[in-house]
Amino acid sequence: LQRSPFIIDISLLVVILVFSVLAVSFIVILPGIRGKSRLFWMFRIIISLFIGVVLVVLNFTGDWAEARVKANATYKSFSNAVVSAEVGLHVGLYGINITLKGEPVSQINETINYNEIFRWSSSVDEQYGDALERGLPNPILYIAEKFTRTSACGLIYQYRYSGRFASANLWTAFCCWLVANILFSMPVILYAGYMMIATAAFIFFSMASFSTIYNVPQCDFSIGAESLRTDYSYSFWIALATGKCSLCESGPFSKAYKILYDIICGNYGFSGLLCAVIGLVVVLLDCLFPARMREA
């Protein structure tokens, strides 16, 4: 049977809904806060919630790395039919998504719009065998075969363990974020700042863990006459921006899939350096003028 193409992960909707309810709850009680502290309090809460939701959502997204290519490729086994389609490989921390979308979508009397997921939590070889039995298109089977245990590429070992360590570091960063929020509600701003720095550090550790997939020789993916090569995608850059801004808690308040953030901050290098400098200045000022920092 023709399966419906993937739209959005339900886990993401649940996480976003939970944090949205928290944000709305805090906004509802804003009228009870007097003076200018109302704006400062709202800004801090919204930025903190944004960092929290990013840390959780990045675990479930499937676009830490991706590759897309438009090519003419054979459609099914035992058939000479060739279709024009866009083939995509999307790598997440818990598995990969392989997409195939025809251009146009309707070709050879079929609707060509597939999105198949292969998770690390179960045997990829069994999932690949199931895909063979279902008779999925050749481009999907070709890419999926590269991630099986019997493949000479050995990609599954590198991708699975890289994603596992990256996910573990993200959950540790989330725990540091929780502790930081608790400390910010107490008169211990210095230690709260340290925990925010720890949050950023574990985000960077997760990125470093995931980046190890490029430390081994890359396996060639040839779709028709075109080649497929993965590169960092949205989730990786969001982690980078959040990690940098967590250092100073100035917040990635305008990060919308790395477009708006680039406009505001200029570029990643400058903004990262700026946030790091501000974070160090905040810690230094808290050591030199603790009373005034508490007032601020």
For the chain, give every domain's residue range: 65-157, 252-290
pLDDT for 168 equals 92
Question: Which residue in this structure is represented by tokens 């009870």?
Answer: 32
pLDDT of 125 > 50? The answer is yes
Tell me what the mean pLDDT of segment 30-39 comes to.
75
Tens digits of per-residue pLDDT, 179-201?
888 887 777 777 877 888 888 88
pLDDT for 242 equals 60
Tens digits of per-residue pLDDT, 261-293?
333 333 333 333 434 554 566 677 778 887 777
Helix (H, G, I), strand (E, B) or coil at 112: strand
Q: How many CA atoms lie within 13 A of 16 on its CB side?
A: 10
Distance CA 229, CA 22 (A): 40
Supply the DSSP string of 50-107, one letter for each residue: HHHHHHHHHHH-S-SEEEEEEEEEE-STT---EEEEEEEEEE-SSEEEEEEEEEEEEE
